C-alpha cells in the first residue's frame, strides 16, 4: 500500500511539474491525448492482470494467491516461490478451519 501511495504522489508531482512546459511545446490537445492513452493502458492492465477481490478478506486473498505455485512478473522475467511470499501460518489456519 505504501508503494502504491508513493507512486501515486510521485506521478502526480511529475505531471504537475511538467504539464505547463509540455503544453507549451506540443499543445493542450496532444497533452490530453497522451494522458488519455496512458489512462487506457492503465485500465487495460488492471482488467487483464489484477484479480477481483471484492467482498474477500485479506486472509482469503492471501490463501487464493498462495494456491499458485509461482509468481511470474512479466516485466522483469523473475519468478519466485509463492511460499516465500505468503506466511505459512495462513495455510495452517485454513487446514484448521476445514476440520
pLDDT digits 0-9 by tens, 45-75? 988 887 788 888 888 888 877 776 555 554 4
Rounded Cα distance, 26 and 95, in Å: 60
> Per the structure block, which three cell numbers stand in for 26?
506540443
Helix (H) or strand (E) holding 68: none
For the chain, how many helices (H) and strands (E)? Answer: 5, 2
Whether pLDDT at 36 is above 90: yes
For residue 85 the three cell numbers come to 511470499
C-alpha cell at 1: 500500500
Q: Which residue has the cell 478478506?
A: 57
**E strand or H helix that includes residue 71:** strand 70-73
Report pTM.
0.53
Amino acid at each position: 500500500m505504501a508503494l502504491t501511495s508513493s507512486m501515486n504522489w510521485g506521478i502526480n508531482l511529475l505531471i504537475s511539474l511538467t504539464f505547463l512546459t509540455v503544453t507549451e511545446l506540443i499543445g493542450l490537445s496532444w497533452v490530453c491525448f497522451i494522458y488519455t492513452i496512458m489512462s487506457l493502458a492503465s485500465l487495460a492492465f488492471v482488467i487483464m492482470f489484477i484479480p477481483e477481490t471484492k467482498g474477500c478478506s485479506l486472509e482469503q486473498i492471501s490463501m487464493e494467491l498462495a494456491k499458485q505455485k509461482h509468481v511470474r512478473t512479466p516485466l522483469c522475467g523473475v519468478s519466485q516461490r509463492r511460499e516465500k511470499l505468503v506466511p505459512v501460518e495462513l495455510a495452517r489456519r485454513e487446514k484448521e478451519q476445514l476440520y
